[in-house]
Every structure is written in C-alpha cells, then in structure tokens.
Structure 1
Amino acid sequence: MLGEEAAHGTEFHVHYNKEVIEGNPFPFPFRSCNTAVLLMLEGRIKVQIDLQTYIVGPMDTMVLSSQSMIHILEIIEPVQNIGCVFTDEFAMTNMLNYEDIRLFRLTELNQTPILSLTEDQYSIIFDIMTKMYTLNLSQSEHNLYKKAKIFHYFNLLALEMMEMHRSGVNQANLKTNRKKEIIHEFLSLLSIHVRNNRNVKFYADKLFITAGHLSKLTKEVTGNTSREIIEEAVVMEARNLLMETSHSLAEIAEILHFSDQSFFGKFFKKKMKITPKSFRDKYK
C-alpha cells in the first residue's frame, strides 16, 4: 500500500501515514487484492465498500477483505491512518486460531466492515499496530526474534479485533438480511466470473433467482442495477490489467471477452472518460 518494504516480503506489510493525506489518492473504484485492517487516526472519509457507503472518522477501524470492491468517494477532512495488509495465505499460515480468519474475511454476512472504537480499544489497537510497524522497519541484526514478534502481535491483533467486533455486533443486535446476503453472493460470483460473463441471467441462475429479481434487489440495496454493477466490475478488471500487466490492448480485450479492441476501447472510454491507452500511460 503506502510506504516501507514488508518484513515478510509481499505477504505482510504495515504502513503508517504520518503525513496527512488531503487529496484523494485513488479516485476511482478498485478491487482489493489482499486483506487490510486500517485504523483511522484523524480525518474523515466517505468510502464505498462492496457498494455500501460509509463515513469513516477518528478511532474507527476498517476491515477490508480480499476482493472487496472499494471506492474512496471523498476525503472530507485530511486523513492520517495506520494499518496492516496481508494475503490470505499469510493469515492461514500464521493465525493460531482458525476462527479469527473469519473476521478478516468478513464471511459472517451483514456485519459492517467499519467498527467505532472506545478510547481504550483505540489505544490497544494503535499500540499493536505501531509495534508491528517498528518491527517491520527494523533492519537491526540484533533483533533475532523479529518475525516471531510480528507473528505474535498479528495474532494479538486478531484476538482483540474479534473480541471488539463481536461485542459491537451483540450491542447492535443485528439480524440476518437475506437481501444483503444475495448481493454479497452476487459480488462474490462476479469477482470470479467477471472476465468471462457479463450476462445478468448467468449470475441470477447461480443464485437460483430470476434476472428480474436480482436486478430489483441490487437496485433496492445499492441504488444500481445489476447491469451497472457488472459493467463497473468489468471496468475495474480492465483498469487492473492496464496498470498491472504488460498485455496489449488487443489481448486485454480478448481476456475480457470483448469482440474486438475497438469495442473494448469504446466501452472503456464511455465509462472512464479516457481511452485505455491514455489511462495506462497516466497510471502505470
């Protein structure tokens, strides 16, 4: 994400934005590759996570699971935060308690990825994060137990977050919402099949509902139609391919199952107001 080289290569990373962020660093939607736990130190942002909009402020945590659809809509007040980013493989390998993985993957449906902390809870999470950050930066040959310390702090973070999360859920007395569950399943399917299928009926069939019912639910819950959500996911996939690979535009068009490069270019420009080539030149 932001900052320093990770102690565990690309599997685990801690970043600390000590300088406040005033401008939006990524103004268009994107899909997260890894899981992230972020603690907001100051400032306020308006962010959309899996098509749900939240206002996140000081002493709030965000748990962003891998493959989440994220869109930073607005930096309301200059932001400062600290957080860790890690792969699913890192979590599976390093977590002592398998149940804690459920928190970081947010597989318990209808539980908000945003949690507002008390001052005591904030102090606990900030202390763990800063210790991991310091260890992550350390190049000292005398720090023989660096990886072991990070391992234990990571598990402590998981335990503390799970306890706080469950407490918050119990206080809110949340009930299962079938509509949101269907949308969650739709987004999960979309992340898997977006390159190969843009047909609403394809996803509705896998959810055992009609295309009309799926469109009605997505419009009701998110404000967008199923078609709009699918097209947005295709655009995000195209952006990722343009920024993160060396594939030619023709190859990307083929990967995303467009009939030809010209049709892909027109689709991308209509959605992004910029050509694929110009986007790649600007952001890669």
Structure 2
Amino acid sequence: MQGISLYDHNSLSKELRLQLATLDYFLYEFSQYERINFEPHRTRAYAICLLSKGELKVETDLFYNHIVAPAIFIIAPSVIRHFLHTTGEFEAQTIFFDKNFFLENQANIAYLDQYEFLYSKDKHVVGLNNTEHQKLSTYFQLFKQTTQESFAKTPAIARSLIYIILDVIASVQEAQDLQPSISLTRNQQLLFEFKKQLASDFMRHRNVSYYAQKLFVSPKYLSTVIKEESGKTAGEWLDEMVLLEAKILLQNKDLTIAQVADQLNFNDQSTFGKFFKNLTSHSPLDYRKQLS
C-alpha cells in the first residue's frame, strides 16, 4: 500500500508562503534565513535544487547526502526527503514542477524515466564546476523571469526551460560518469543494494530473510555486513524506514491513528503505537500534537 504525500502543490506553496499564478511550476529561493521543513516528507512535485552557496545535509530514502556548493540536487515525488542541517552562507534556488504539466504534448509518458538522477539513490546529487554552475544559474534566472510573466506562451517557455535544465544535468552527469571513480568494496555495495531494496519493499516485507534472499546471501551474512558497514543492524534499518513513513502519514491529519497503522500494515493500532513509542519515546498522538 502506498504512503501518502505530505505536500501537494497547493500545500507546498502555502508552506513556502508563496502567492502563485499557477501551481504547475514555480521557483523558490532559499537562504540561511528561510525556514526549511526538517521533518521527513514527500511532495507531489518534482524538485530541482541549485545550491550556489553553503552546505546541505539531507537523507533521501535513508541515503545520506552531504551536498557542498556548487551542486544540483534533484528529487522525484516518490522519494522521502529529510533535511538534517544547513550550514554556511546558504543560498539555493529550487524549481518545482508538476509531472502532468511537464508531459503535456509529450507522446512518451515515460519520458522522465530516462533521467537516472531522478530515481537512482546514488545519483540525486550532481557536483558542478564553475562553468556548469554558471550555465545552470543562467537557466534558473530565465525560469524565474518566465514565472513572473503571464503571456499565452509563458507555460510553454517554462516547460522548455525545464527540458533544457534536465538535459544539461544529464550531460554533466554523463561526463562525470566517464571519469575514474572510487569503486565500492563488496560489503559497501551490499549495504547500498540492501538500502535500495529496502526503500522499494519495506511496506510489504519486514523480514531480514526476504532481503537476504533478494540479495543472494544468507540472513546471517547480510546482518553481519550491514552492522559492520553502517553501525546499524538490518532490523534497525527496517525500523527506521517504517518510522519515516509513519511520520509522513501522521502529518496528514485527515488520517486517524488507526488508519495510519493500517496503511503501514500493522495488525492493529496498539501494535503500531508500541512500535512508534519504542523508537521515539512519544506516542503517535503526541508526535502529531507536537507538529501543530
């Protein structure tokens, strides 16, 4: 069963305190003085963030990213993002866009699937050199100017600029992929594959044996490697992923606690409550009240 996104386009614009002519596409500029939601969340919009100054620490589906400017950071709607920390003279611009808007007049409805950086857990962050940053910064400024216009062709121009930005990012990443890189050890690769599989299947499968079978190793070997490489057991990673999803669902106040427990495939509300309190020291209801 799928989790529920915290921010649709309307609630996202309200969170950012924006008065928008359209919710299909918009740009928001962050600085060290701006509030960033530090609770785990999703959005229904695609997000392309150009980090020009400072550093950002964020988890995407349990994958830790330490982003140092200049860099571009791209997230698809399905990805849970948890902003942990910003530091330095922080400055970033983020383009948000709706998939249906982007695909308007596009015959290939799977067009966005070609961009590996949107979905691959190790590709969300693309470092930039000064030339690449300047090029993307120019396109972001053009996009910003376009969003402030209201001509008949404005949506088409905005859409074209998103196409261009995505292709520029893809070209930068392609060039970087040709450069020699540090290979992961076998154990590091196993941890990476485990977390990737976990992000995909945790709603249906919470048994370490399942993931061991998918990764063609024994449960004991998987548990040993995961603990050695990450400092956490495989079971702790499972619990953390379920907890992230629980926090997202609890932020949707249209759902009762019992409905959240059901969506997370717990046997009952009591079992879910014990799980949540054991990990956070708060009941699900107390956590929800703290968000108000």
TM-score by length of 1: 0.79
Root-mean-square deviation (CA, aligned residues, Å) is 3.3
Amino acid at match of 1:53: Y
Match of 2:167 in 1: 159
Q: 3-state DSSP class of the match of 1:171?
A: coil
Change (3 A) 1:237 1:51: closer
Match of 2:75 in 1: 64
In the alignment of these two chains, the number of paired residues is 276
Change (3 A) 1:124 1:104: same
Cα distance in 2, alignment partners of residues 32 and 172 from structure 1:
35
In structure 2, the gaps of 5 or more residues are 1-11
Q: 3-state DSSP class of the match of 1:244?
A: coil
Correspondent of 2:117 among 97, 100, 104? 104
- Give the drift of 1:164: 1.2
Match of 1:20 in 2: 32
Cα distance in 2, alignment partners of residues 36 and 87 from structure 1:
9
Cα distance in 2, alignment partners of residues 145 and 206 from structure 1:
49
Amino acid at match of 2:173: H
- Give the drift of 1:267: 1.7
In structure 1, the gaps of 5 or more residues are none
Cα distance in 2, alignment partners of residues 165 and 71 from structure 1:
24
Match of 2:222 in 1: 214
Cα distance in 2, alignment partners of residues 181 and 259 from structure 1:
34
Match of 1:45 in 2: 56
Change (3 A) 1:34 1:22: closer
- Give the drift of 1:16: 1.8
Correspondent of 2:264 among 239, 249, 256? 256
Match of 1:114 in 2: 125
CA contact (8 A) 1:7 1:13 kept: no
Q: 3-state DSSP class of the match of 1:219?
A: helix
Q: Which moved more, 1:225-234 or 1:52-61?
A: 52-61
- Give the drift of 1:29: 4.2
Aligned ranges for residues 1-284 of structure 1 at < 5 Å? 1=12, 2=16, 4=18, 9=23, 12-17=25-30, 19-21=31-33, 25-30=36-41, 34-86=45-97, 98=111, 101-107=114-120, 111-138=122-149, 140=150, 143-173=151-181, 175=183, 182-244=190-252, 246-283=254-291
CA contact (8 A) 1:100 1:158 kept: no
TM-score by length of 2: 0.77
Change (3 A) 1:233 1:162: same
- Give the drift of 1:82: 0.5
Q: Which moved more, 1:25-34 or 1:58-67?
A: 25-34
- Give the drift of 1:156: 0.9
Change (3 A) 1:272 1:22: farther
Amino acid at match of 1:20: Q
Change (3 A) 1:193 1:106: closer
* Identity %, equivalent residues: 24
Q: Taking CA–CA contacts closer than 8 Å with sequence separation of 6 or more, which of the two structures ends up with the larger relative contact order?
A: 2
Cα distance in 1, alignment partners of residues 195 and 64 from structure 2:
16
- Give the drift of 1:225: 1.9
Cα distance in 1, alignment partners of residues 268 and 153 from structure 2:
55
- Give the drift of 1:230: 0.9
